[in-house]
Structure formats: structure tokens, C-alpha cells
């Protein structure tokens, strides 16, 4: 079986006038088809950098990345954009919807350039909204006139329409109250149960505990994950996490 994500010895260096920052330090990670994995780490640990590499939004300095079997360093800009659009469904903390467009229009949009006929696009979008638990009666509401929890369901539906190999979610509950956030995380679990491959990025152990497995990033280095099932509570997951990480400063 081909891994959906296969990162080998990935290094990312940001060079600025102030000097170089080693944001990712020899990161290797594979995510198999059907996995739901959380990447967990505190602010500044390299989560966004890793998400940008996995999401084909930025390129590593060194190392290889295969997404769905494709060596992405072999792709030029235009092919990369196409490949990204078809392979990855993004869900962001800030939803990133077109505020004045309808819910349905937001979800149809990624299908615009795929050659899917117009009527079929609408059908696919409606089905994705239903899968994301969005109420049919609000399909035509403007997306700035719905609640935050509903906005994130629209964003999840939008992430599903191209049937991507990977759903990549960056702090998807960061702008939601805890009850709404739980419902969204349960939605990810449901999608995973239907076979979707999900990478969830978070700083919070209680959020990571919804995944099947978590890996931990500190100072740009990745550490062995704890299988969530082994840790019965988020606190236990945090303790187990602390146990595999070097003591403060040790990762540098
Ligand atoms: N564009 C950039 N230019 C220079 N340094 C950056 C840039 N983006 C991130 N960094 C640095 O890389 C490290 C990791 O940052 P980031 O990936 O944003 O972490 P996180 O998302 O976990 O907060 C930090 O030291 C940050 O200051
Ligand atoms: Mg970040």
C-alpha cells in the first residue's frame, strides 16, 4: 500500500537578515491511507511550517516528500497547484470562506475547474454539505450569516468535494467554543470512519486525543507518537507525551 504522506528527512531553513532558523530538523513521517493522525506541538515548534510543506504551500529545503505516491519535487508550479487542488482538502482555523457568497457557492467553487458538469457540481456540493452535517435549509444563506460551527462545516464540505487523498486541518476548532469544537472533531472522526485520511494540527492534547495516533513536534523535531487508544484521557495523553519528549531545551 502506498502511504498518503511520506516525508523523509525533511529540513526547512528560513533565512532572514537576522540569520537562519531551522524550522524543521530532519523530520520523517508517513501517514497511511485511512489514518487519522494529530501533529501536536506548542507555539513556534514548527507546526505551520510542517503543514505548509505537507500542504504543498511551501517547499522543504532538504529531504523528499511523496504525496499519494508522487514525488512532489518533480512538479512545476502549475502542476503543483493542480495536484494540490485535487489531492488535499484544507480546513483552517479561520474557515476562509467567501463571506458574501452563499454556503452552496463556497462548496461548489473547488469543482469549478475540474471539468465536472455544472449540475453534477451542485449535486456533489449538496452531498458534501449533508456529509458535513450542514442543515439543508441553510444551503442558500450567505456564509457570513451563519454560526462559527456551521462555517466550519461548510469548510469541511468544501474540503471534501474533490474527494482528496488527504484532509489537512490546522487548528480547526481554534475559533469555536468547546462544545461546537467537540462536534466538529466528532465530524472528523466520522469522516475517518468512512475511510478519509486526516492530518490534524493542534497545540492541544485534548484535541489531539480525537485522532488515532499523535506525533509531537518540538523545536522542529518530530517525536514518537502515542496511540490515542493507549491513553484513556487527554491528561494521560499529555503525560505520555511529556514522557517521550526531551526535557526543556534538550531537543535543540
Ligand atoms: N517565514 C518565516 N521566516 C522566518 N522564520 C519563520 C518563518 N515562519 C516561521 N518561522 C520560524 O520557524 C519556527 C517555527 O514556526 P512555525 O512553523 O510557525 O511554528 P508553529 O506553527 O508551531 O507556531 C519559529 O521559530 C518561527 O519563528
Ligand atoms: Mg502556527
Q: What is the pLDDT of residues 165-207, one digit of tens each?
A: 999 999 999 999 999 999 999 999 999 999 999 999 999 999 9
Q: Is 23 in the pocket of ligand 1 (CB under 6 A)?
A: yes
Is residue 27 a contact partner of residue 7, using CB atoms and an 8 Å limit?
yes
Give the residue among 149, 159, 215, 234 at the shortest CA–CA distance from 184.
149
- pTM comes to 0.91
CATH H superfamily, domain 3-242: P-loop containing nucleotide triphosphate hydrolases (3.40.50.300)
Joined together, the cell numbers standing for residue 111 give 469543482
Cα 173–chain centre separation:
12
Q: What is the DSSP letter of 246?
A: P
Q: 51 CA distance to ligand 1 centroid (A)?
A: 11
SS3 call for 25: strand
Could you tell which of 16, 19, 39, 44 is best to mutate to test the pocket of ligand 1, judged by most ligand atoms within 8 Å of the CB?
A: 44
Note the pLDDT tens digit of each residue in 98-149: 999 999 999 999 998 788 999 999 999 999 999 999 999 999 999 999 999 9
Ligand closest to 171 (CA) is 2
User: 209 pLDDT band (50/70/90 cuts)?
Assistant: very high
Q: What's the full length of the chain, in residues?
A: 252
Opening angle at CA 54, ends 186 and 65, nearest 5: 135
SS3 call for 118: helix
Atom number, ligand 1, closest to the C-alpha of residue 52: 17
The strand ranges marked E within 57-144 are 62-67, 70-71, 88-92
Amino acid at each position: 500500500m502506498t502511504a498518503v504522506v511520506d516525508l523523509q528527512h525533511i529540513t526547512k531553513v528560513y533565512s532572514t537578515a537576522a540569520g537562519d532558523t531551522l524550522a524543521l530538523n530532519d523530520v520523517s513521517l508517513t501517514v497511511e491511507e485511512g489514518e487519522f493522525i494529530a501533529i501536536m506541538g506548542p507555539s513556534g515548534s514548527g507546526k505551520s511550517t510542517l503543514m505548509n510543506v505537507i500542504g504543498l504551500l511551501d517547499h522543504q529545503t532538504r529531504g523528499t516528500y511523496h504525496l499519494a505516491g508522487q514525488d512532489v519535487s518533480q512538479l512545476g508550479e502549475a502542476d503543483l497547484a493542480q495536484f494540490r487542488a485535487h489531492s488535499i482538502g484544507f480546513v483552517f482555523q479561520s474557515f476562509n470562506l467567501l463571506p458574501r457568497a452563499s454556503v452552496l457557492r463556497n462548496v461548489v467553487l473547488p469543482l469549478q475547474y475540474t471539468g465536472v458538469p455544472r449540475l453534477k457540481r451542485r449535486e456533489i456540493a449538496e452531498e458534501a454539505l449533508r456529509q458535513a452535517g450542514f442543515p439543508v435549509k441553510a444551503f442558500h444563506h450567505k456564509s457570513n450569516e451563519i454560526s462559527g460551527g456551521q462555517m466550519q462545516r461548510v469548510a469541511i464540505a468544501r474540503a471534501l468535494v474533490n474527494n482528496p487523498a488527504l484532509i489537512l486541518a490546522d487548528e480547526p476548532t481554534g475559533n469555536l467554543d468547546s462544545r461546537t469544537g467537540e462536534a466538529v472533531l466528532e465530524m472528523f472522526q466520522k469522516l475517518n470512519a468512512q475511510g478519509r485520511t486526516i492530518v490534524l494540527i493542534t497545540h492541544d492534547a485534548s484535541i489531539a486525543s480525537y485522532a488515532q495516533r499523535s506525533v509531537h513536534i518540538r523545536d522542529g523535531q518530530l517525536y514518537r507518537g502515542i496511540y490515542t487508544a493507549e491513553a484513556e484521557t487527554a491528561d494521560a495523553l499529555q503525560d505520555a507525551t511529556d514522557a517521550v519528549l526531551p526535557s526543556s531545551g534538550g531537543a535543540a
